[in-house]
């Protein structure tokens, strides 16, 4: 296996190293898409939570619950209701919640989050060769802390992305068992993310 991707990231902003170390200690990231998932993730071993639901009215409380349980809260901006896709949406998350970072497919939001000192995850859907070839360009535009690729069950594709992107790679989507996790990590991924609660305990 290649040198662990977490070791490639240098000169990280304050807080980023701690998040990366937490992910390295437990490479299974809990992703929550509803209230029942939120309750379950608070009991899970993983220290990092991807928030895939909520809206402008309740995101503060969702983040607060996660933070009160000593976990890292990272908000998926594209799935947050009632907030829009302009830079000011990131300012809202930064100023009105205690979120540690954001996930997005939108480079403008990620750039703003970096300016505000937040942890950033670029999410990329690998649908065809064009989207695969575009990951490097997206990375160069943003220089995020991590890149998440979906679906995460393509070890050959994961290996290629890991070789091309100089930050840790997360595999997400359609991961359903221990074999999927091992395949992703063996291909060089630093972590996997999943809403599947049975995966969280593996």
Beta bridge partners, 28, equal 192
pLDDT in tens, 11-39: 333 489 999 999 999 999 999 999 999 99
Tens digit of pLDDT for each residue in 106-127? 999 999 999 999 999 999 999 9
Residue 8 located in a structural domain: no
pTM for this entry: 0.92
Whichever domain contains 101, its CATH number is: 3.20.20.70
Is the pLDDT at 149 greater than 50, yes or no? yes
For residue 85, tell me if it sits in a domain. yes
7 domain-assigned: no
**Domain range for 157:** 13-196
Rounded to 5 degrees, what are φ and ψ at 173?
A: 90, 125
Please report, for residues 12, 55, 57, 128, 136, the alpha-carbon distance to residue 163 in angstroms, rounded to integers and kept in the order given: 20, 36, 40, 18, 11
Domain count of the chain?
1
Say how far apart CA 50 and CA 181 lie, in whole Å.
Answer: 17
pLDDT value for 2 = 41
């Amino acid at each position: 296996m290649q040198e662990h991707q977490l070791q490639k990231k240098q000169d990280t902003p304050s807080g980023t190293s701690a998040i990366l170390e937490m992910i390295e200690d437990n490479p299974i990231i809990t992703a929550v898409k509803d209230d029942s998932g939120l309750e379950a993730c608070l009991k899970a071993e993983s220290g990092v939570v991807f928030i895939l639901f909520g809206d402008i009215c309740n995101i503060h409380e969702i983040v607060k619950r996660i933070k009160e349980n000593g976990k890292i809260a990272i908000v998926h901006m594209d799935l947050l209701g009632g907030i829009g896709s302009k830079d000011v949406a990131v300012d809202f998350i930064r100023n009105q919640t205690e979120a540690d970072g954001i996930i997005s497919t939108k480079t403008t939001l990620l750039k703003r989050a970096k300016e505000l000192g937040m942890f950033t995850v670029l999410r990329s859907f690998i649908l065809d060769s064009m989207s695969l070839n575009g990951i490097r360009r997206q990375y160069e535009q943003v220089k995020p802390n991590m890149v998440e690729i979906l679906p995460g069950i393509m070890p050959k594709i994961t290996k290629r992305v890991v070789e091309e992107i100089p930050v840790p790679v997360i595999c997400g989507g359609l991961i359903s068992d221990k074999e999927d996790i091992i395949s992703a990590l063996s291909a060089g991924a630093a972590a996997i993310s999943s809403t599947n609660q049975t995966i969280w305990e593996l």
